[in-house]
Amino acid sequence: MILRPWSAVRLAVLALACALLPTSAQASLTGLGTVRDAIPELSTALPRELPGPCEGELCGEIEVPQPKTRVRGFELDLYCRLGGEDGLSCRPRQVWAEEYGEGTSDQSLFTGHYFDTETNLYYAKARYFDPQLGRFLSQDSYLGELTEPPSLHRYLYANDNPTRYFDPTGHQAVSPETLRAWEEYNRQHPVERVGEAAVVEEPRSEGRGFWSRLWGAITNPWGAGQEVGESAEALAAKGLNADAPLGGQRATDADAVRGMSGLREGDAERLAQGDRGAVRRGVAVAGGAGVAVGVTAAIEYAEGKALEGVASLGSSFIGRAWGRVRGFFSRGATAVEGVSILRPRQGFTSEGGEFLDDMPFSRGSAPSREVIPSGELAPGAAPLLPGRTGLREFDIDLYRNFGGPRTGDQLAGHEMLQNAWLKAQGHTGRRGVGAFSRGNPAVALSDEMHTRVGIEQAKLGLNDPSRLRGMGAAENIKLNAQAMRNAGVPEHVVQTLRQEALKHAGTLPN
């Protein structure tokens, strides 16, 4: 029997479990601390210090991840069984997402970053993270620091220590302490708002990030191929590559090594051929290795050999950081509705929906940011002089607002849901006419970038009228996103415009 949390069946099983379990275990079923008692398999892996008293819907339930929670490309579920001497035994079960035949909705999951089901990649703002490879797909523009060897590996996520560090921007692993310093700066320097700002997407941090992280640390066996701090020689003896398979960089010390042995010889080719099964069976994918650190550490913690990373998993992470990172796991985009400009941000969205621009690369210091002068953006402002603009490149606004007073800004408004597609589908008779054309979100591009995007569009066949006629909105948006990506438009801009374009497409009549 496979149990779905919060289901009637599950509640019935839990009630039965209460009847079957010893009295001490029954009493503890009212809080999270009961999990250790009720599910022996978890007892050595759960942190000793648990996140406070029973509250809300946690009460009376065995706290497990949401059904089918996606973690690094897996779905998690709880597989429980009645009978036998234990009465109730439950094991976490993980299956590939594909086995459920789902995955059509985008989700913000592990690490709080956004999982794109179209690409099966995590969008970590500055870069994409491939959960199958366990690596970012591109090198970090931040070169790292010699004093922190893991930071020199420019494909690693969060110094390959995700139980300790976060990487809110895709550039830099930050500790809870650093995050706290940024939050403090944010409180002292409130962002000047323009018009009535509203968060486009509510932060989605409650529960899922933590539980995904914890559950992954407990259950992911894909990191079993390596141990913390193994040397390059030890890895080589296991048949694992000490060289980074994607970047060709070599390990700089033991800490870095542990995240650099992700793939066996030929695995990149196997992945490229879609043979993920062959890879996942025998190899410690580097992403798994990150979790393996958590597994190993959790076990050692349980045995009284606490490591720094584990301590943070148990107490520091939960007790101090968790409350402070609420609201930080969002996509980093805020709509300023009063003036309708959407300015994609690479920085994280802190509590309250405020946002910061590019994160600094000096650890522990306060982030820099730019305050938008409200006078430039106010609706009805005086016409701008040639060469002066209220828009910056990559700002997003509605197509109707790219003319008129913004004439002279030398920035083109480029729609991701092509106006040509709107015309081909009969949603608008003419360019610039009607709400569907004029209300189409567009991004401000420089002349050079606009030209490059146009060339990439042509390569993808997006200038073929018959093709546009037979194309759905989602496909049009997807291909145009690819064209922008190929042209070099920053990913966070592509993602933000994509979301806006999808929302606009949702307003079109069927």
Q: At what angle do helices 208-219 and 286-302 cross, to 10 degrees?
A: 80
Contact between 113 and 169 under an 8 Å Cβ cutoff? The reply is: no
- Of 234-253, which residues contact other proteins (CB under 8 A)? none
Q: Which residues of 376-404 are buried (b: 16+ CB within 10 A; e: fewer)?
A: bbeeeeeebeeeebbbebbbbbbbbbbee
Which residue number, 16 or 458, has a Cβ lying nearer to other proteins? 458
Q: How far is the CB of 416 from other proteins (least distance, A)?
A: 12
Q: Which region, judged by CB under 8 A, interacts with other proteins, from 241-249, 270-278, 360-368, 423-431?
A: 423-431
User: Of 95, 433, 474, 508, which one interacts with other proteins (CB under 8 A)?
Assistant: 433
What crossing angle do the helices spanning 473-487 and 491-506 adopt, rounded to 10°? 160
Q: Which two tokens stand for residue 43?
A: 């007892």
Q: Which is nearer to other proteins, 15 or 435 (CB)?
A: 435
- Residues numbered 459 to 488 that lie near other proteins (CB under 8 A) are 461-469
22 touches other proteins (CB under 8 A):
no
Residue from 410, 485, 486, 490 binding other proteins (CB under 8 A): 410
Q: Work out how close the CB of 407 gets to other proteins at its nearest, in angstroms, rounded to a whole number.
A: 5
- List 420, 485, 486, 490, residue binding other proteins (CB under 8 A): 420
Closest CA to 504 of 395, 400, 390: 400
For other proteins, which stretch binds (CB under 8 A), given 39-47, 71-79, 142-150, 409-417? Answer: 409-417
Sole residue written with tokens 């006629």: 469
Binder among 239, 323, 373, 408 for other proteins (CB under 8 A): 408
DSSP structural state of residue 11:
H
Regarding 139 and contact with other proteins (CB under 8 A), the answer is no
- Of residues 111, 413, 440, 482, which one binds other proteins by CB under 8 A? 413
- For the bound state, the minimum distance from the C-beta of residue 463 to other proteins, rounded and expressed in Å, comes to 4
Binding other proteins (rule: CB under 8 A), the pick from 293, 402, 441, 481 is 402
Site for other proteins (CB under 8 A): which residue of 7, 43, 451, 507?
451
Q: What is the DSSP string of 485-500?
A: HHHT--HHHHHHHHHH
Does residue number 401 form part of the binding site for other proteins (CB under 8 A)?
A: no
Binding status of residue 507 toward other proteins by CB under 8 A: no
Using rule CB under 8 A, residue 441 touches other proteins: no
Q: Does 323 bind other proteins (CB under 8 A)?
A: no
Per the CB < 8 A criterion, the answer to whether 350 and 328 are in contact is yes
DSSP E strands in 392-450: the ranges are 396-398, 412-415, 441-445
The stretch near other proteins (CB under 8 A) out of 46-54, 71-79, 203-211, 421-429 is 421-429
Contacts of 452 (CB under 8 A, 6+ apart): 487, 488
User: How many residues bind other proteins, per CB under 8 A?
Assistant: 41
User: Is residue 23 packed enough to be buried (19+ CB in 10 Å), middle (13-18) or exposed (0-12)?
Assistant: exposed
DSSP-assigned states of every residue in 216-278: HHHH-GGGTT--TT--HHHHHHTT--SS-TTT-PPP-SHHHHTTS----TTHHHHHHTT-HHH
Q: Which of 403, 474, 488, 507 binds other proteins (CB under 8 A)?
A: 403
In the complex, what is the shortest distance from the CB of residue 459 to other proteins, in angstroms, rounded to a whole number? 9
Q: Which of 180, 400, 405, 486 binds other proteins (CB under 8 A)?
A: 400
Residue with structure tokens 């045995």?
303
* Among the listed residues 43, 141, 368, 407, the single contact to other proteins using CB under 8 A: 407
Q: 266, 282, 426, 472: which one contacts other proteins (CB under 8 A)?
A: 426
For residue 2, the 8-state DSSP code is E
Q: Pick from 384, 31, 351: which is nearest to 202 by CA?
A: 351
- Report which of 260, 262, 249 is spatially closest to residue 223, judged by C-alpha positions: 262
Our finding on whether 454 is near other proteins (CB under 8 A) is yes
Contact flag: residue 2 with other proteins (CB under 8 A): no
Selected from 374, 438, 486, 490, the binder of other proteins by CB under 8 A is 438
Task: Look up residue 246 and give its two tokens.
Answer: 């994607």
Quote the radius of gyration of the chain (alpha carbons, Å): 25
Q: Which stretch binds other proteins (CB under 8 A): 112-120, 194-202, 349-357, 403-411?
A: 403-411
The enclosing H or E element of 79 equals strand 74-82
Query: What is the x/- site pattern for other proteins, positions 24-53, by CB under 8 A?
Result: ------------------------------
Nearer to other proteins among residue 141 and residue 446 (C-beta)? 446
| Residue 435 binds other proteins (CB under 8 A) | yes
DSSP 326-380: TTTSS-SEEEETTTTEEEE-SS-B-TTS-B--S--SSTTSPPP--PPPHHHH-TT
Q: Cα separation of 341 and 355, whole Å? A: 14
Record the tokens describing residue 125, joined without a space: 């703002």
- 354-393: contacts with other proteins (CB under 8 A): 386-387
Shortest gap between Cβ of 155 and other proteins (angstroms)?
A: 33
* Biggest CA pair distance of the chain: 81
Choice from 447, 475, 488, 507 touching other proteins (CB under 8 A): 447
> Minimum Å distance from CB 410 to other proteins?
6
- 432 makes contact with other proteins (CB under 8 A): yes
Q: Which positions lie near other proteins, rule CB under 8 A?
A: 386-387, 400, 402-403, 407-408, 410, 412-413, 418-420, 423-426, 429-435, 438, 447, 450-451, 454-455, 457-458, 461-469
